[in-house]
């Protein structure tokens, strides 16, 4: 039996949330930046071979917000998983990373979350090593919506955790 679960992408303006979702759902990328106003919802079926099961991810792309505490709580109701996205090329999007993650974890302690440093194609491995103390210990994946690098893995990994939790 296929189940549907809500996944919310959260983070600052312009970090690539919409681009990650488009890459994952439609396998496309566009250089044209369009601001998400409110919320945009897309769906995708994900098969989890390890457990021979499938799940439909209902993915909510929230408008960016420089202060996570200003995110509309109504958008977060019923969330089964979070993807927190920051832009590796813009320090302003990750300088409060620990605070933002703690804020989410305090309010939604049982909801799994993946932390994603996006725009990997624009930084070097040396840059990542040099900034390991800033975001390295918090980050689950370094992605590139442009190239598609690690995008599928983010959602598949989260889907697997959500599916496992749903079967408990």
DSSP3 helix / strand / coil % (the chain, rounded to 5): 40, 25, 35
Domain harbouring 110, CATH code? 3.40.50.300
Expressed as residue numbers, the domain containing 44 is 3-166
Q: Which residues contact 20 (CB under 8 A, 6 or more apart)?
A: 9, 83, 85, 116, 118, 143, 145, 151, 154
pLDDT tens profile 53-94: 889 999 999 877 777 777 888 888 899 999 999 999 999 999
Q: Reply yes or no on whether the pLDDT at 31 is more than 80.
A: no
Q: What is the pTM of this model?
A: 0.92
Residue 66 region by backbone torsions, left for phi larger than 0, else alpha for psi between -120 and 50, else beta = alpha
Total domains, the chain: 1
Residue 149 in this model has a pLDDT that exceeds 70: yes
Q: Give the residue, 75 or 107, on which the prediction is more confident.
A: 107
**pLDDT the model gives residue 19:** 93
What's residue 65's pLDDT?
A: 78
Per-residue confidence (pLDDT) for residue 66, from 0 to 100: 77
The residue among 100, 138, 133, 92 whose CA lies nearest residue 117 is 138
């Amino acid at each position: 039996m296929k189940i549907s679960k809500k996944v919310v992408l959260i983070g600052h303006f312009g970090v690539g949330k919409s681009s990650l979702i488009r890459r994952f759902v439609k396998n496309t990328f566009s250089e044209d930046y369009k601001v998400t106003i409110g919320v945009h919802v897309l769906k995708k079926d994900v098969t989890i071979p390890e457990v021979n099961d499938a799940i439909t991810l209902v993915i909510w792309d929230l408008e960016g917000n420089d202060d996570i505490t200003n995110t509309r709580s109504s958008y977060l109701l019923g969330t089964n998983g979070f993807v927190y996205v920051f832009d590796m090329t813009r320090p302003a999007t990750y300088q409060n990373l620990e605070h933002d993650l703690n804020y989410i974890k305090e309010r939604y302690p049982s909801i799994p979350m993946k932390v994603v440093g996006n725009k990997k194609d624009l930084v070097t491995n040396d840059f990542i090593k040099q900034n390991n103390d800033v975001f390295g210990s918090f980050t689950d994946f370094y992605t590139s919506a442009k190239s598609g690098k690690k995008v599928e893995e983010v959602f598949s990994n989260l889907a697997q955790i959500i599916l496992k939790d749903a079967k408990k």
